[in-house]
Amino acid sequence: MRKGLSRGLLQRDHADVLVVEPEVGYQILPLNTEKAHNLKEKSLEVIRMYRGLAAEQPASTEEDWAFQFESAHFITLGLLYEGNKRFAGGAFAPILRRVDKFLKLTLRRGLEERAERAGMVRAADEALGVVVAKIKKRGINHPYVKNYVLARTTPLTRVRKTLPAFEPTFKKLRENIEAFDVGKVRYEDIQRSAIIAVPAGE
């Protein structure tokens, strides 16, 4: 057994139980996170890790645990999934990946900022829900509708070198969604976009 990885083996009904030091456990957790089946599981694992670290090492920052968290957007999505297990994280992930960065705040203060960020995403999702409902009312039903609308309302462009901050990005996104003209949406356009879309692997 590698030294430092455990306090010892406990014998219980002839089974070996490995007791891992807390700080070592946080080094192991990212490996489990990487093997998570989907974006929701990964995000929920990260936010649980975040809360545990905030309680045990409140003075540390998100940047201190960047390796363990893997990506900042998992933290925000974790909060969103905690509130709604059916949240459309996959639709918002491409935007979040680009503008959601690790905070320099302590973890306890960071949770407050993360809650505000999650609220901005939730507001955009609510506006998106209204638009999607209008599109479906026109008889257009397709599982890629949310992605389609977001792709056409995102304030980010693929060629943009300097990205805006999180707050202005989601403020503008919400405005764009609310101003989206559902009358121009055609089923074949959504279907075509879904076919040529590059899978996110999540």
DSSP 145-188: HHHHHHHHH-S--TT-SSPPPHHHHHHHHHHHHHT--GGG--HH
Cα 196 from Cα 190, distance rounded (Å): 10
Structure confidence at residue 160 as a pLDDT band (50, 70, 90): low
Q: How far apart are the first and last CA of the chain?
A: 35
Q: What is the pLDDT of residues 173-185, one digit of tens each?
A: 999 999 999 999 9
Confidence of residue 159 (pLDDT cuts 50, 70, 90): low
pLDDT of residue 157: 76
